[in-house]
Amino acid sequence: MAFIEIRTIPDPVLRKISSPVANITDEITRLSEDMIETMKLSNGAGLAANQVGFPIRLITIDEHVNKQGNRHIILINPEIVEADSEETAEEGCLSVPNFYEYVKRAKKVLARGVSLEGETIELECEGQLARALQHEIDHLNGVLFIDHLSPVKKNLFKKKYQKRQ
């Protein structure tokens, strides 16, 4: 397993819509293992493949977020099938370093994807796992958590972020 550099804004790969994974290859398996290693070493809750420069539909979620099985989640071609209720909670992102803000998301979701073994997985979840799945699937669609902010908060973000660069 190897650490992969995490892309940060304004890297254009973060705004690309990721392509579906057609075949689960050794390269996909290796990439998912490297993504888990990178996520753990970066103290992330999840990671999407485009965050490490691969615009394909692959995400990983940390085992500490997965209260359902206490193991890392690897999902290929994930999608949110159903969403219910709303809640607001603080989020951050490895691709938007050192910035945290409150974001409204669905409280409960039903997510579906494919495992590395080619099996369909359905996750009915709420709380932090539901939030992490939505956040990572957003990445696959070129959406960052800052895109969910109000215009006022987006302007504050731009001012804060420009000061850091």
Residue 116 is part of a domain; what is its CATH number?
3.90.45.10
Do the domain assignments include residue 6? no
User: pLDDT truncated to tens, each residue of the chain (165 aa)?
Assistant: 789 999 999 999 999 999 999 999 999 999 999 999 999 999 999 999 999 999 999 999 998 888 767 689 999 999 999 999 999 999 999 999 999 999 999 999 999 999 999 999 999 999 999 999 999 999 999 999 999 999 998 898 888 776 665
Structural domain including 46 reads 12-164
Do the domain assignments include residue 145? yes
Query: 63, 82, 124, 136: which is the annotated catalytic residue?
Result: 136
Q: Hey, what long-range contacts does 27-31 have (CB within 8 A, 24 or more apart)? A: 28/56, 28/58, 28/76, 28/116, 29/116, 31/58
pTM of this structure:
0.94
Do the domain assignments include residue 108? yes
Do the domain assignments include residue 24? yes
What is the rounded end-to-end Cα distance, in angstroms, of the chain? 31
Domain count, the chain: 1
Distance of CA 140 to the CA centre of its chain: 8
Do the domain assignments include residue 150? yes
Do the domain assignments include residue 103? yes
Report CA-CA distances (Å) from 101 to 20, 87, 105, 121.
Answer: 30, 13, 13, 30
**What local confidence, expressed as pLDDT, does residue 10 receive?**
92
**What local confidence, expressed as pLDDT, does residue 66 receive?**
80
Do the domain assignments include residue 59? yes
Q: Is 126 a catalytic residue?
A: no
Do the domain assignments include residue 147? yes
At a CB cut-off of 8 Å and minimum separation 6, what does 45 contact?
A: 39, 61, 62, 64, 65, 128, 132, 135
